[in-house]
Structure 1
């Protein structure tokens, strides 16, 4: 049933979803005879220049991106003073819908993450940072292809919050928000890699790194707390566990420098790099019907850090990262390359008189590794992280000591 026709061309038939800024409709393009998705701005927000600017920015940014892992923009227009975007209609489900039934198989999670990396590569090459990578903004087609959507709060790399909004608003979804977004620092592609790290963590474990009832508490956790390794929740290959920890580093300089590096690492882990062109493993028997376009972006309340300070909500828990003198580094320099895990580590033994590795013994191990590495810092040292993981899994390093020493591998960038 046709509900409305935009500019005598696009027949709006059924609403797919609605958010604070716009509604998304399944529609038919009369001229080309194809099904499309149309995102129509709500009349009630037309007078808000910030919302209108975001809508226009999404059109301009997506128009410059042509990639199989990004939802395509077909047309833009205005009807009766109301702007709209015409976009690719994606048959399938959102990743959020898939995760509502539990974690994914490791191969499926790795394949989806690799495809999102490909989309982020294309966006990065165009100088665009998505800033809201989350399961609702990743669509999975019926044949298993991942497509990133909703560039409504995307912006040029290096821009700060004040440059983006002209206000104290913090954009993005706090559950998947990088620390530098929380504190209002500059963003670049490593911001999106942190968001993807949170998504990969959710695909592997069934939940993002930090959860809770308060968006403010969750935002604070991203700044101050060290997430429990995914391998704590389920068996995960060491290489994947280490890659995920590097993606979730608090400081951009400690994360992988670009999506291509992460994609290459993920494809090495996957038995079939093209796996995601097939149906998602473990989901083929579920209902895969439905036509999707986008998960509408969420705006987190303004002044989140000030409110945390005023209310006391969001105090760091027992996994608190070490105290720092300032916010995460926003330097544009690329982080140093991680040390490759070329050979298996020899069996570690605790110091004489110590039944297992305690926090002090673990720190001594890190110092030993630094000495072996010519006195260089262990920051970003994948070998050190790998050995700590081995000790924890072997029961030689208790959880509290593991977390404390792991946090020291993520110090402030100088």
Structure 2
């Protein structure tokens, strides 16, 4: 499709920002309202149910929150469905993580708190994201966090299963909740688990689980306990390390709700350690947050030993379920269909990764000369169970098309 196309007699397509399995994302000018937008042209084979697409787009359009990329419009152009979304001046969290390594705990908490706030609004509207990962999180030039792809993952997923008709898992292996790995329906708590995986990665420089294949990673999500973040990076405050493990609870019912996560994270404030005590880590300036007064949480009263005993008792059953699930996935499609998230660091010691402060220009800073939605980092891909990311061939480091 050429750059001079006028979509629906309103949206002038200007520049291709990226394309992937789901379709193409374009920078466009809304000639009616006189503003720049992002337009996603969805491949016909991905949206065979036009009515469902319409309902999902309407649902996503109701999510009015500063931490969610807005959906403005949707329709059909020459039998091709499209979504019109907010164009963000910034880059993806995947790019930020790739360039900076680990983040200062206070900054990582600020990002996770904004993500939790956006997810909380979506969950109150009955919308589950299903694919929370750094590549689907935008950071504006003003350091505002915005979650992309609301509604997209929903209408490409079946409400009763995590498998497509061909056996593909919908989601990314590094951030996939255990219940989804077992083929169960996605829940709001599934997004909470993925949020915990993202926060874990921001703090330690690696996802909670790593393996040679996507299936190996998925298996660990089901039956392995994550190493406490504070053990991988001692400067991480112990209360934060413990809370991350709560977000990663195997039982969805034992994870805090997104509203609680947003409140708890917003009340945390720690003083970064002196730079001379950690030559490998240069802390970023603390992000302003509310006064530290963590609310009481009766849902967090369960003891960790009890969790471990319950985990051990379910290990055999979980392994069998994943084995059955893996069979379907292997028959349907390869689990290694690509990912736009940065690959985990080669070193198993995340503390040796240098962090670049928010105010310091990284070696290859994201360009922000023009507003775009963030595309992910050009770093080598990590295993993913579906290949629908728009940023594979995105323009430079400007950002990704919202809503992939």
If the TM-score is normalised by the length of the shorter chain, which range does it land in?
0.5 to 0.7
Query: Does the 8 Å contact 1:198/1:208 carry over to 2?
Result: yes
Q: Distance in 2 between matches of 1:6 and 1:49?
A: 20
CA contact (8 A) 1:111 1:270 kept: no
Q: Residue 196 of structure 2 corresponds to which residue in structure 1?
A: 197
Kept after mapping to 1: 8 A contact 2:90/2:374: no
Q: Distance in 2 between matches of 1:174 and 1:58?
A: 24
Q: Name the structure 2 match of 1:153.
A: 153
- Render the CA deviation track for 1:83-120: whole Å, top value 9, x for unaligned: 11110000001000001121111111100100011111
Residue of structure 1 aligned with 2:361, choices 268, 277, 285: 285
Which residue in 1 is equivalent to 2:247?
Answer: 247
Aligned twin of 1:131:
130
Q: Residue 59 of structure 2 corresponds to which residue in structure 1?
A: 61
Q: Distance in 2 between matches of 1:98 and 1:55?
A: 32
Residue of structure 2 aligned with 1:300, choices 385, 390, 401: 385
CA contact (8 A) 1:135 1:199 kept: yes
Q: Distance in 1 between matches of 2:247 and 2:7?
A: 43
For residue 201 of structure 1, report the CA deviation from its aligned partner. 0.5
Which secondary structure does the structure 2 equivalent of 1:139 belong to? strand
**Superposition map of 1:26-105 within 5 A:** 26-43=27-44, 45=45, 49=48, 55-56=53-54, 58-101=56-99, 102-105=101-104
Separation (CA, whole Å) in 2 of partners of 1:180 and 1:191: 8
Q: What secondary structure does 2:14 align onto?
A: strand
Asked whether the 8 Å contact 1:95–1:135 carries over to 2, the reply is yes
Distance 2:167 2:109 in 1: 36
8 Å Cα contact 1:105/1:282 also seen in 2: no
Query: Does residue 270 of structure 1 match 2:355?
Result: no
* Shift in Å, 1:33: 1.4
Contact 1:149 1:295 in 2 (8 A): no
User: Distance between the aligned counterparts of 2:96 and 2:185, measured in 1?
Assistant: 32
2:108 matches 1:109: yes
Distance 1:182 1:283, change over 3 A: farther
Q: Deviations 1:288-315 (Å, cap 9, x if unpaired)?
A: 424443669x9726xxxxxxxxxxxxxx
User: Per-residue deviation at 1:170?
Assistant: 2.2
TM-score, scaled to structure 1: 0.64
Higher relative contact order (CA 8 A, sep 6+): 2
How many Å separate the matches in 2 of 1:269 and 1:245?
16
Matched-pair contact (CA < 8 Å) for 1:117–1:263: yes
User: CA 1:212–1:57 in 2, change beyond 3 Å: closer, same or farther?
Assistant: farther
Q: Deviations over 1:366-403 (max 9, x none)?
A: xxxxxxxxxxxxxxxxxxxxxxxxxxxxxxxxxxxxxx
* Greater C-alpha radius of gyration: 1
5+ residue gaps, structure 2: 271-285, 291-355, 377-382, 387-404
Name the SS for the 2:18 alignment partner.
strand
Residues 103 and 203 in structure 1, CA contact (< 8 A), matched pair in contact too: yes
The count of residues paired between Structure 1 and Structure 2 equals: 293
Which stretches in structure 1 are left out of the alignment for 5+ residues? 302-414
Give a deviation string over 1:146-188, Cα, whole Å, max 9, x none. 00111212379994317x8566442111110000000012332
How much has 1:54 moved relative to structure 2? Answer: 7.2
User: Taking structure 1 as reference, are residues 209 and 174 closer, same or farther at Cα in structure 2, changes over 3 Å only?
Assistant: same
Secondary structure, counterpart of 2:153 in structure 1: coil
**1:293-332 → structure 2 map (5 Å cutoff):** 293=373, 300=385
Q: Give TM-score scaled by structure 2 length.
A: 0.66
- Work out the CA distance in 2 between the residues paired with 1:103 and 1:15: 31
Change in Cα spacing, 1:23 to 1:57, as seen in structure 2 (3 Å) is farther
Q: Is the contact between residue 158 and residue 164 of structure 2 (CA under 8 Å) also seen in structure 1?
A: no
Aligned-partner Cα distance in 2 for 1:37–1:275: 31
The residue matched to 1:154 in structure 2 has which SS? helix
Distance 2:78 2:158 in 1: 36
